[in-house]
Structure 1
Amino acid sequence: MRLLISQKVRLKLASKVPPVTESEIIECFSNRDGYLLEDTREDHKSDPPTQWFIAETDYGKKLKIVFIYKENSEIAIRTA
């Protein structure tokens, strides 16, 4: 699994209070339990589809991770 985080998304995550780090996103993928959900709203549809889940970091911080899983085992983070 390789995370792809654009500079625009990195700036958005850094400006959140508290900021969201790449390591916290990785922790959430590791701690995920349950199904992935798909965003079916017309304004947010993409190909491949946008998926999301809610999980905790190792320190208990809950994050909603929104991403696109690409064919070559890359995960493009849209937001967290």
Structure 2
Amino acid sequence: MQFYISRAVRQKLHEKHQVSDKEIFECFFNRTHSFLTDTREDHLTDPITKWFISETDLGRQLKVCFIERGVESIEIKTAYEPSTTNAINVYYKIAKEC
């Protein structure tokens, strides 16, 4: 699987959210539940944006948003610590276990 992070997104991840590429990769590999799709009208993309919540190897919980650009290619849109426990609870209630 190949990950793509644009220069602008990488800078935002570092400066605004203090999230590293490594932490994002760890979240993908540590994921225990399915991806959800972002169906909010102001967030619609083509192809559709997907997201999930997972932990890094050190236990930091992140929400990761991405676009699948092919069978083995993923473009990262953003990643950050979920703002509320409600967001985390909703994710684990809706998402299916892998």
For 1:31 and 1:37, locate their aligned partners in 2 and report how far apart those are by CA, in whole Å: 16
Q: Percent identity?
A: 52
Bigger helix share: 2
Partner-residue secondary structure (3-state), 1:40 = coil
Matched residue, 1:33: 32
Counterpart amino acid of 1:67?
F
Deviations 1:11-70 (A, max 9, x none): 1011135x1110100000000011100000111111111000000000000000000011
Off by >2 Å, runs of 4+ in structure 1: none
1:2 matched to which residue of 2? 2
Q: Which runs of 5+ in 2 are unaligned?
A: 80-98
Normalising by the residue count of structure 2, what TM-score does the alignment of the two structures yield? 0.77
Partners in 2 of 1:72 and 1:53 — Cα distance?
18
Structural RMSD (CA): 1.0
TM-score (norm 1): 0.93
Report the Cα distance in structure 2 between the residues aligned to 1:54 and 1:72, rounded to whole angstroms: 21
1:70 alignment partner, SS class: strand
